Amino acid sequence: MCSDEVVVRGIIRVVEEIREMRPDSKIVINGLLPRADRTESGKLELQHSRTDKDLKNIWNGIELVNKELSYYAEEHDEVYYVDSKSIFLRDSEEGEIDKELMFDFLHPTMEGYQLWGDSIIEKLQEIIPKDEE
C-alpha cells in the first residue's frame, strides 16, 4: 500500500500536469470515498492492509488524503475540491457506511453513483458561469 503522502503527491502531480497542459482549465478534485472492511456493520475501523502483516486504519488515511487535497484546491486558482463522503455515510459521528449506497462498503450502488454524480454536477454548476455553457 502507498503511504498517504504518496497518494496525495500522485494526485497533485496529475493536477499539475493538467494545469501545465491546459492552463485555462477548471479542475475538480473528487475526494476519496469512504470504505470499510466487508463486514455487516460497514463501520470505518481498522482493516487489513494488502500485505495482511499488520492493521492500518484506512479511514484515517483517506481523511488525511482528502484534507490535503482540499488544502491544495483552496491554495490554487481554478482548482476545486468535492467531498462526497457524507453521501455514503449513514452516521457521520459513528462513521458507518450506508449499505444501500455502497453495497460492499467499497463500491457504490446505482443509487450511490447517481447521488455522487449529482454532487459533482452541483459543484460544476457552481464554478462554470452560465455564459460559458
pTM of the complete model:
0.80
Interstrand relation of 89-91 and 79-82 (parallel, antiparallel or unpaired) = unpaired
Q: How sure is the predictor about 55, in pLDDT bands with cuts at 50, 70 and 90? A: very low
63-117: per-residue pLDDT in tens?
899 999 999 999 999 999 999 888 998 865 567 888 899 988 889 999 999 999 9
**Average confidence (pLDDT) over 51-68:** 74
Are 36 and 45 contacting, i.e. CB atoms less than 8 angstroms apart?
Answer: yes
DSSP string, 29-94: EEPPPP---SSSS-B---EE-TT-SSEE-HHHHHHHHHHHHHHHHHHSTTEEEE--HHHHEEETTT
Are 12 and 79 contacting, i.e. CB atoms less than 8 angstroms apart?
Answer: no
User: Would you list the domain boundaries of the chain?
Assistant: 4-132
- For domain 4-132, the CATH architecture is 3-Layer(aba) Sandwich (3.40)
